[in-house]
Amino acid sequence: MEKLIDKQRVVQYMDGRLLRNNVLKFLFFLATLFGLIVLVVLLYRIFTQAIGWLNVDFLNNFPSRRPENAGIKAGLVGSLWLMVIVAPVSLILGVGTAIYLEEYAKKSRFTDFIQTNISNLAGVPSIVFGLLGLTIFVRELNLGRSILAAGLTMSLLVLPVIVVAAQEAIRAVPNQLREASYGMGATKWQTIYRIVLPAAIPGILTGSILALSRAIGETAPLVVLGIPTFLAYLPQGILDTFTVMPMQIYNWTSRPQADFQNVAAAGIVVLLVVLIFMNSIAIFIRNKFQKRY
């Protein structure tokens, strides 16, 4: 009799667990479905608005006060110029910092303090970096509203993300590889350069490309720096004034004419294509190195 009661309790307990599991599974499915539906609706609205405006002339024309003549050439070229500064500065400083913290720095309160602040900086609002760039690069260093000033500001914005991603990738490299390299007589730097970095490249590139994608789509720091929203010429160097695609899209959405909303949608599509292209490069390089190491 007691065994029968215990068996019934076990069955009831298992039924309750299975019921909770199915309820939570359904809730998680609804959450995922809701996000996908919102994304599909958003993409559908953007593409339906942009379909009649996205053409070769749109890519080759400069901004105009007339919607039918407006183009994104200045913003597209300006965004590429911005990446010319942001990519090397943030990658060199970010990966270099990660290598020092993971391979050279001894564990102490000072390194813990640095690590904590790097992690905290990754969550700081982007407009704070805009204020920092305005104070240091635009005014103190007298760089003005140039590509160099904006590039250095955006590099500060994505630097903590790259440092954290690079640290995680370096930390994931097995210690056996380092020990085998040391056993063959390699120095510390030879081990890092020939063993650790090649094995960590997939993780480093993934985090770096995602960080650069964030930089190319940010607007708030550039608004603080005073980057113009309307520009009818192309920059010739890193000290020239420029504009970027998010600023140009922001300008179009603020226009009262209804057709400018369609022009803004076409600009969003171009920005999405650039972001997808950048992420595709990251995936290709990551997969290539994963096959080798």
What pLDDT score does 199 carry?
A: 85
Which range marks the domain in which residue 131 is found? 58-289
Q: Is residue 2 part of a domain?
A: no
Q: Is residue 206 part of a domain?
A: yes
pLDDT digits (tens, 9 = 90+) for 48-99: 888 888 888 888 888 888 888 888 888 889 999 999 999 999 999 999 999 9
Q: Is residue 119 part of a domain?
A: yes
Q: Is residue 1 part of a domain?
A: no
- The number of folded domains in the chain is 2
What pLDDT score does 7 carry?
A: 64
| pTM of this structure | 0.81
CATH number at residue 196: 1.10.3720.10
pLDDT digits (tens, 9 = 90+) for 12-32: 777 778 888 889 999 999 999
Q: Which region holds residue 187: left if phi is over 0, alpha if psi is between -120 and 50, else beta?
A: beta
- Residues in the chain, pLDDT under 50: none
**41 and 96 housed in the same domain:** no
Q: Is residue 245 part of a domain?
A: yes
